[in-house]
Amino acid sequence: MDVSALAWWCGLVLGAIPLLLQALWYLNDAFFLASLRLRPTANNGMQGRTKLPPGHMGLPFLGETLTFLWYFKILRRPDGFIEAKKQRYGEGVRMYRTHLFGSPTILTCSPASNKFVLNSAEDFRIHWPEPELVGFSSLVNVEGKQHARLKSFVVKAINQPQALRQIAHTVQPRVISALRSWAEKGTINAVLETKKVTFENICKLFVSMDPSPVTDAIDQWFEGLVKGLRAYPINFPGSAVHHALKCRRKLTAVFREELEKRKGRKNGIHENSDLMDGLMQIKDEEGKQLTDDEVVDNIVTLVVGGYQSTALASMWALYHISKSPEVLHKLREENRIISKEKKGVFITLDHISQMKYTAKVVEETIRLANIAPTLFRVANRDVEYGGYRIPKDWQVVVWIRSLHTDPMNFDNPLSFNPDRWNQPAKPGTFQVFGWGHRICAGNMLARIQLTIILHHLALGYKWELLDPDAKMTYLPHQRPVDGAAMAFSAL
């Protein structure tokens, strides 16, 4: 080939590559915009209107999942993903289009747009790729009247004063003995230890089980189940979902057996003994009770909802307080005063309601922990918000984390400052427990458990992080990579 032909070919290739890359860059956007225009009958009177929120659909098939992983795993800046969008496309109504985890997606991240999605049960539904994993008759899997009915049962059983009074009493022996054992060890991995004590308490509260090889197996099955819920939704032998389904069936079997045992009990169901008894006997206004499937599915759901969340919140309380001596000082002061009023070693719900500073520490811990950073919905139909279209069947990711780390909502948002709760948060900016009809069914239970552990910690112990600058990991949950290793001792 002569020199001029070579130069011609080089020019062509070098010119074509950027063009090809650019085409690839816009291909996903073009594909989804075109498919929306071609939809035969877009409903809600939106025929032909394709004004999607600003954003970018990423690469074909992958979408922006790699960019998401880049911010969360490599840069360790989870807020960077949304910040970059705000900078690039403007704040507007804080809704962006993207393509995440295999689905075309609308992200929402303002108090108003989040509330719009979370409040509308008719327009947005929960979608579980593998509904058996969460349980067909679990309250997280059903909608409408069925959901409202189950939710009222569950809230009555775990989140209202009468139940919480009993729960506050039941959880304290294990908290007290766990703290004692941590002090004996001298050094602990707070992630593991808070998980252990939370799980023991859950087994006691929900099914009156004390630690045994059976509860160890149950713990393993829950671990497998939760991994499957977070995994890529493909089910084949060896996959996380496949394993999770096996775990789910074992959990169903073990709780079903327990339920049958209780039904056969001579002296019937014990009043107020544990959550399973509670769910078995609660009646709605028409005098109807839950079916056996509903009891079992919702016990499993409540363990999944309440286990890791409460454990992580307890670990974060230990973490932040160890870095804030003045917070610990104020906590000790308040809890010593309360302690003088109590009879014996346990505090009651009445004491807890007087613990104003401790309550601020709890709110601040939960705000910064961002245990559920994003919530997922699917649009039931084409919906319009702020002049933009949320297309039917698209995934909607409600990015609640960004509200809690936004300086517009919270001054110096990444600092741990319980005193910020001297004033309530700006309306709609605190969505840690979700919003609307699906708001967390165990929000008071979580707060009470955290208050109880703080009370006993503040009265009797001191602790110090071994590596206060340990790196963070953000997936599947935000936590220090060293498990918040700490020196722990009695005062």
| d(C-alpha 12, C-alpha 24), whole Å | 18
Which stretch, 33-41, 213-221, 276-284, 437-445, contacts ligand HEM (CB under 6 A)?
Answer: 437-445
313 versus 368: smaller Cβ distance to ligand HEM: 313
Q: Are strands 479-480 and 124-125 parallel, antiparallel or unpaired?
A: unpaired
Which stretch, 169-177, 325-333, 364-372, 461-469, contacts ligand HEM (CB under 6 A)?
Answer: 364-372
65 versus 308: smaller Cβ distance to ligand HEM: 308
Q: Which residue is nearest to ligand HEM (CB)?
A: 442
Q: Select from 107, 133, 359, 371 the one that contacts ligand HEM (CB under 6 A).
A: 371
Min separation Cβ 275 and ligand HEM, Å: 8
**HEC readout, the chain:** CCHHHHHHHHHHHHHHHHHHHHHHHHHHHHHHHHHHHHCCCCCCCCCCCCCCCCECCCECCCECHHHHHHHHHHCCCCCHHHHHHHHHHCCCCCEEEEEECCEEEEEECCHHHHHHHHHCCCCEECCCCCHHHHCCCCCCCCCHHHHHHHHHHHHHHHCCHHHHHHHHHHHHHHHHHHHHHHHHHCEEEHHHHHHHHHHHHHHHHHHCCCCCHHHHHHHHHHHHHHHHHHCCCCCCCCCHHHHHHHHHHHHHHHHHHHHHHHHCCCCCCCCCCCHHHHHHHCECCCCCECCHHHHHHHHHHHHHHHHHHHHHHHHHHHHHHHCCHHHHHHHHHHHHHHHHHCCCCCCCHHHHHHCHHHHHHHHHHHHHHCCCCCEEEEECCCEEECCEEECCCCEEEECCHHHHCCCCCCCCCCCCCHHHHHCCCCCCCCCCCCCHHHCCCCHHHHHHHHHHHHHHHHHHEEEEECCCCCCEECCCCCEECCCCEEEEEEC
CA dist list (Å): 416 to 316, 317, 406, 481: 10, 10, 14, 19
- 157 is a site residue for ligand HEM (CB under 6 A): no
- 167 is a site residue for ligand HEM (CB under 6 A): no
383 versus 446: smaller Cβ distance to ligand HEM: 446
Min separation Cβ 202 and ligand HEM, Å: 7
- 163 is a site residue for ligand HEM (CB under 6 A): no
394 versus 433: smaller Cβ distance to ligand HEM: 433
- 113 is a site residue for ligand HEM (CB under 6 A): no
- 244 is a site residue for ligand HEM (CB under 6 A): no
| Tokens of residue 103, six digits | 């689905």
- 139 is a site residue for ligand HEM (CB under 6 A): yes
125 versus 242: smaller Cβ distance to ligand HEM: 125
Min separation Cβ 457 and ligand HEM, Å: 17
243 versus 477: smaller Cβ distance to ligand HEM: 477
125 versus 227: smaller Cβ distance to ligand HEM: 125
For residue 440, say whether it is annotated as part of any ligand binding site.
yes
- What would the x/- binding string for ligand HEM be over residues 295 to 324, using CB under 6 A? ------xx--xx--xx--x-----------
Min separation Cβ 445 and ligand HEM, Å: 5
Min separation Cβ 316 and ligand HEM, Å: 9
- 441 is a site residue for ligand HEM (CB under 6 A): yes
254 versus 362: smaller Cβ distance to ligand HEM: 362
Which stretch, 26-34, 369-377, 405-413, 422-430, contacts ligand HEM (CB under 6 A)?
Answer: 369-377
Q: Select from 46, 117, 158, 484 the one that contacts ligand HEM (CB under 6 A).
A: 158
Query: 54 to 93, contacts with ligand HEM by CB under 6 A?
Result: none
> Cβ contacts of residue 345 below 8 Å, gap of 6+?
172, 176
- 442 is a site residue for ligand HEM (CB under 6 A): yes
10 versus 112: smaller Cβ distance to ligand HEM: 112
* Annotated binding-site ranges for heme: 440
Site residues for ligand HEM per CB under 6 A: 139-140, 151, 158, 301-302, 305-306, 309-310, 313, 366, 371-372, 375, 432-434, 438, 440-442, 445-446
